[in-house]
């Protein structure tokens, strides 16, 4: 009796499995199969970038260790670095005598371009005009030249 019950259960389970596998697949399984097929084609280089003519992969040297990995790396990039715009006193000669020079005037004259966290006046050249200069920093030579010409140096906050 117990053998007949076991055979009956096995027959039912077998029939259930056959019916289950004969049902149509859902769309999600179809997508999965398409993805598997696509991955298989990619591993065979069928329809990928390197299968096209005239394609060069940047930095690829045919399996040899690429040059950018063979060379030693040095230093680091300081992410807190301040960009200081530099202006020589010889460039300040273009302003009128007695003028007040600040960042806006320097930008208008084209002496400071782009992003700058501050402006530093350097002492290269000669200055013959009396100017009032507003900047973040002054070199000692620039301060001497400006004050010798009768001008003033005023340091501003950043």
Residue 9 forms part of a structural domain: no
Report, as an integer, the average pLDDT of 60-71: 88
Supply the pLDDT for residue 6. Answer: 79
Supply the pLDDT for residue 114. Answer: 93
- What digits encode the pLDDT tens for the residues 67-83? 989 999 999 999 999 99
| Residue 121: band (very low, low, confident or very high) from pLDDT cuts 50, 70, 90 | very high
The residue range of the domain holding 133 is 84-155
Whether 69 and 100 map to the same domain: the answer is no
Whether 30 and 68 map to the same domain: the answer is yes
Residue 1, pLDDT > 70, answer no
C-alpha to C-alpha distance for 121 and 34, rounded to whole angstroms: 66
Residue 18 forms part of a structural domain: no
Residue 14 forms part of a structural domain: no
Supply the pLDDT for residue 58. Answer: 75
Whether 59 and 93 map to the same domain: the answer is no
Task: At 39, list the tokens.
Answer: 């991955």
Whether 70 and 90 map to the same domain: the answer is no
Whether 125 and 64 map to the same domain: the answer is no
Whether 47 and 90 map to the same domain: the answer is no
**What Å distances lie between residue 128 and 57, 62, 88, CA to CA?**
59, 64, 13
Whether 65 and 99 map to the same domain: the answer is no
Residue 66 forms part of a structural domain: yes
Residue with tokens 């990039």: 77
Which of 74, 93, 111 is the last residue in one of the domains?
74
Whether 68 and 93 map to the same domain: the answer is no
Report, as an integer, the average pLDDT of 108-132: 94
Report, as an integer, the average pLDDT of 8-26: 65
**Of 18-22, 83-87, 126-130, minimum mean pLDDT range:** 18-22
Residue 20 forms part of a structural domain: no
Count of structural domains, the chain: 2
Whether 115 and 135 map to the same domain: the answer is yes
Sign of the CA dihedral with 20 first, then 25, 28, and 29 last: positive
Residue 103 sits in a domain whose CATH number is 3.100.10.10
Phi, psi of 2 (to 5 degrees): -70, -30
Task: At 42, list the tokens.
Answer: 């990619």
């Amino acid at each position: 009796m117990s053998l007949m019950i076991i055979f009956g259960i096995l027959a039912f389970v077998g029939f259930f499995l056959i019916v289950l596998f004969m049902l149509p697949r859902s769309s999600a399984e179809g997508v999965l199969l398409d993805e598997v097929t696509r991955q298989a084609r990619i591993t065979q280089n069928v329809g990928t970038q390197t299968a096209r003519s005239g394609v060069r992969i940047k930095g690829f040297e045919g399996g040899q260790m690429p040059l950018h990995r063979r060379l030693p790396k040095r230093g680091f990039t300081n992410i807190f670095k301040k960009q200081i715009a530099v202006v020589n006193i010889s460039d300040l000669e273009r302003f009128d005598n007695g003028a007040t020079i600040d960042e806006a005037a320097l930008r208008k004259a084209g002496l400071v371009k782009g992003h700058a966290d501050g402006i530093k006046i350097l002492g290269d050249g000669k200055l013959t005009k009396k100017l009032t200069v507003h900047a973040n920093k002054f070199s000692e030579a620039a301060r001497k030249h400006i004050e010798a010409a009768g001008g003033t140096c005023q340091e501003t906050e950043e």
